[in-house]
Structure formats: C-alpha cells, structure tokens
Amino acid sequence: MTSLRTVHIVAFDTMADWEIGHLTAHLSNGRHQRGSGEFRIATVGLSADPVRTMGGLQVVPDLTLDQLIPAASAMLVLPGGDTWESGAHPAYVEKAVGFLDAGVPVAAICGATFALAAAGLLDARPHTSNDPGYLAASGYAGTGHYVDQPAVVDGDLVTASGVAPVHFARAVFERLDAYEPHVLASWFKLYADRDPAGFFELMSA
C-alpha cells in the first residue's frame, strides 16, 4: 500500500482560497496520479483557531506551525492573501526558509511571493509573481531574475502569479512528480485550455 505524502498549506485570515483550489482538489482526489492517491492536504495555522478565507470559508487548521517539520512534509504551500505585503506573516516566511534549507519544496503564489521577495529569498533565483513592479516595491534585489511567465519552477521553489491558479497547480504537480508527463499535459489541456480532448485523454490514461 502506498504511504501518503502530505502537502502542507498555510492557513490565515484573508487567504485567497481560489488560488489553491485546483492544487488542493486534484492532489486530494488522487485521480490519474502516479501513485493513485499518494497525497493528502493538511492546513497549518499559527494556532488551532479557525481562520476565514477571502472567499468566506472557515478553515480549522489541522496542525500548528510549531508542530510542522520539513521531514514530515512533501511541500509547503503559501497561498496569496491581503496581509502578506504588510509583513504580517514572518513565522510563515521563516518556516519557508527552513523548508528550503532542508531541501523540501516551497510553493508561493501572489502576495506570498512578495513576502519571500522582501525576505531576500528571490534575490538570486528565477521567479515570477503578479508583475515586476509589484515585487520591486518589496525592496528586493532580484529584479534581474524575474521571469515573465504565469508560474516558474526553480529547484525547490515554485512561484506564480495570483491570476494563474491552473499554471500554479501544474507547476506544483510537476515539482512533486505527481503525474506522468503526458497525463499532466492532458490535465492542463482540459483545465487551462478548456479543450474537451483533455478530458477524454484523462479518462483513457
């Protein structure tokens, strides 16, 4: 029996739930994956208190940040939200640093990329975000490494624009090696290109 690999999602008030919707749903359902149901999703909060997403959903964290260690995780995911730019989540950024230092992947989208930039994590590696000017406001030194793409995978770090949730999910799936390449191409054909052929390809995978 295949053991589950846990992908941890940080949970906080105003988290942009739609930015991680494709990622969480398709990792959790296990369909068409290499290991057929190999992944599970767990949410991580600063405390066990419920948080409310930007979409109005209440999320009760599965564990607290102090309980999370890189060795027990397949990836740490930082969704966007209204509070990253203000520096409201230093503990999450610190945890991301610890994950990268331990060689465990981190994926950040939208506002979370701003926080990583402000912490210097994007100064010397290819990355993307909502816009180069958006990240420049963080005062970071990585402008020359900005890539004008919806999502970028650079080793253990995945970054994405907040308007590219499907591209973000594909980049995460790619980094986790969750699908055979041709299956992932069909998935992207269906959900990004809205091509019905992708559906039939997945059904026959």
Give 194-204 pLDDT, tens digit per residue: 999 999 999 99
Q: Which domain holds residue 154?
A: 5-179
Instruction: Evaluate whether residue 80 is within a structural domain.
Output: yes
Residues known to be catalytic: 110
Distance from C-alpha of 165 to C-alpha of 107, rounded to nearest angstrom: 12
What pLDDT, in 10s, does the model give residues 19-37? 999 999 999 998 999 875 6
193: in domain: no
pLDDT reported for residue 2: 46
- Output the CA torsion 106→110→114→115 (10° steps): -50
Q: Is 91 helix (H, G, I), strand (E, B) or coil?
A: helix
Residue 21 lies in a domain: yes
State how beta strands 75-78 and 5-10 pair.
Answer: parallel
pTM, two decimal places: 0.96
Q: How many domains does the chain have?
A: 1
Strand partners, 40: 6
Please report whether residue 150 resides in a domain. Answer: yes
- Flag whether 189 is in a domain: no
User: Is 9 domain-assigned?
Assistant: yes
pLDDT at 37: 61
How much is the pLDDT for 1?
36
- Please give the pLDDT value at position 4: 79
Number of other CB atoms surrounding residue 144 within 10 Å: 8
Q: Domain holding 65: CATH number?
A: 3.40.50.880
C-alpha–C-alpha distance, residues 193 and 80, integer Å: 23
Per-residue pLDDT of 1-13, as tens digits, reads 346 799 999 999 9
pLDDT tens readout for residues 36-85: 568 999 999 999 999 999 999 999 999 999 999 999 999 999 999 999 99
Residue 10 lies in a domain: yes
Residue 204 covered by a domain: no
List pLDDT tens digits, range 124-180.
Answer: 999 999 999 999 999 999 999 999 999 999 999 999 999 999 999 999 999 999 999
